[in-house]
A and B are shown apart, each in its own frame.
Chain A
Amino acid sequence: ETGVTQTPRHLVMGMTNKKSLKCEQHLGHNAMYWYKQSAKKPLELMFVYNFKEQTENNSVPSRFSPECPNSSHLFLHLHTLQPEDSALYLCASSPEGQGAYNEQFFGPGTRLTVL
């Protein structure tokens, strides 16, 4: 158990649907991250929140909208997705958002399929 939970674990949605992914960390960390993992590609950083402020948006399309209401919770709101957005979406947290001590701990991921 890593202390980072994600719901749902699996999600199938149509291109016109709106859904949200949720991440919660119980580690007392101050930074949270969204990553996308597609087949045959390295993990791609999507967003970073440090002390609830977004500090990184890695050129992610606007159909992905993050929300961080507090340091323990992170959401990824999805709308009008494309089939190529199908992937494993991983959430992570770390004590701080930068520096040598930002060891990241990952959740189990949400397997998203866009039809």
Chain B
Amino acid sequence: KQEVTQIPAALSVPEGENLVLNCSFTDSAIYNLQWFRQDPGKGLTSLLLIQSSQREQTSGRLNASLDKSSGRSTLYIAASQPGDSATYLCAVTPGANNLFFGTGTRLTVIP
């Protein structure tokens, strides 16, 4: 069964710092990997989707990479801002219908 792990579980950084969030998965047979953001008590907002054939995707200050063979993905956030404070979740699609989620990294950006 696919297992998704995110490290660290929580991270605090001062405003303006660049940071990296890590995601690893046990089964490399995936269609895609998706990064989400979740604010407290709210639903998930899709940030980036990387297809299995791709190495990275970029959106604004966010850059996500995928190394499928090693079962790893990173989310790089440049010049962090207090508004980036949230929980970041990664999820992989192994096949039909399903997403397997990690438990997330709770990010706090300190002004």
Chain A residues close to B by CB (< 8 Å): 2, 4, 6, 31, 33, 40-43, 45, 48, 50, 55-56, 88, 90, 92, 97-100, 102-109, 111
B103 contacts A41, CB within 8 Å? yes
B101 contacts A107, CB within 8 Å? no
B41 contacts A88, CB within 8 Å? yes
Chain B residues close to A by CB (< 8 Å): 4, 31-32, 34, 36, 41-46, 49, 51-52, 89, 91, 93, 95-104
Which residue in A40, A92, A97, A102 is a CB contact (below 8 Å) of B103? A40
Complex: A104 Cα to B45 Cα, angstroms: 9
B89 contacts A43, CB within 8 Å? yes
B43 contacts A107, CB within 8 Å? yes
Complex: A7 Cα to B96 Cα, angstroms: 27
What is the chain B residue whose CB lies nearest that of A97?
A: B97
Complex: A33 Cα to B34 Cα, angstroms: 16
**Contact A48-B97, Cβ < 8 Å, known A43-B89, A103-B34:** yes
B97 contacts A109, CB within 8 Å? no
What is the chain A residue whose CB lies nearest that of B104?
A: A42
A106 contacts B32, CB within 8 Å? no
Complex: A112 Cα to B96 Cα, angstroms: 28
**Contact A109-B103, Cβ < 8 Å, known A48-B98, A100-B51:** no
What is the chain B residue whose CB lies nearest that of A4?
A: B43
Return B101 CB to nearest CB of chain A, in Å.
4
Return B68 CB to nearest CB of chain A, in Å.
12
Return A93 CB to nearest CB of chain B, in Å.
11
A100 contacts B52, CB within 8 Å? yes
Apart from A98-B96, A102-B31, list 18 A-B contacts with CB within 8 A: A2-B43, A6-B43, A41-B103, A48-B98, A50-B97, A55-B96, A56-B96, A97-B97, A98-B95, A100-B93, A102-B32, A102-B93, A102-B97, A103-B34, A104-B34, A104-B46, A108-B42, A111-B41
Complex: A67 Cα to B100 Cα, angstroms: 23
Return B62 CB to nearest CB of chain A, in Å.
15
Which residue in B97, B100, B101 is a CB contact (below 8 Å) of A55? B97
